[in-house]
Amino acid sequence: MGASVGHNAGPRRRRGRARRVASRPMSEINVTPFVDVMLVLLIVFMVSAPLMTVGVPIDLPDTSAEALPSEDEEPLTVTLAPDGTVLIQTTEVPVGDLVARLQAIASERDSPRIFLRADGSIPYERVMTIMGALNAGGFREIGLVTDSGGPRLDGNGE
């Protein structure tokens, strides 16, 4: 008797269910959700950033506006009195000398911010003339000082 030679000399094949390979942990990080969230945040900040920035803070007398943030230096104030006199801090200055005095002060200061206090009865043209002198004197950030508690125009006040 001889040995029988099988006709299946190749690898064995099973019928039925395929053998499952054990699942291995994924070694890559899926960054797609992270990128989606970051793009949404970028768009939100790009849209809202211009709305939070004010070029020149202008507050007129008797308004409900909030105060400007404080600085390290003592704030420099120019006052335009009802009779037309101009004062730097508490010192009266002739209008012709205003730009020269402001340039001398600006060279000594770190901050380009100055506050203008003008009486409500002063004509707008006069206030704008003084603001031009402040700008020519080297101050680029001009804040107009007001009293709080004025009318609100958002429908929640007078």
Q: What is the per-residue pLDDT across 85-98, written as a single tens digit (0 to 9) for each?
A: 888 888 888 888 88
pTM exceeding 0.75: no
Residue 7: per-residue pLDDT: 55
Check if the beta carbon of residue 114 is closer than 8 Å to that of residue 142: yes
List the domain boundaries for the chain.
77-144
Segment 39-47 mean pLDDT: 88
pLDDT bracket for residue 53 (50, 70, 90): very low
pLDDT value of position 79: 85
Task: Tell me how far the alpha carbon of residue 73 is from its chain's centroid.
Answer: 21
Least confident range from 14-28, 83-97, 105-119: namely 14-28
Burial class (CB in 10 A: 0-12, 13-18, 19+), 12: exposed
In this structure, whether the domain defined by 77-144 belongs to CATH 3.30.2010.10 is answered with no
Residue 3 CA to residue 149 CA, distance in Å, equals: 111
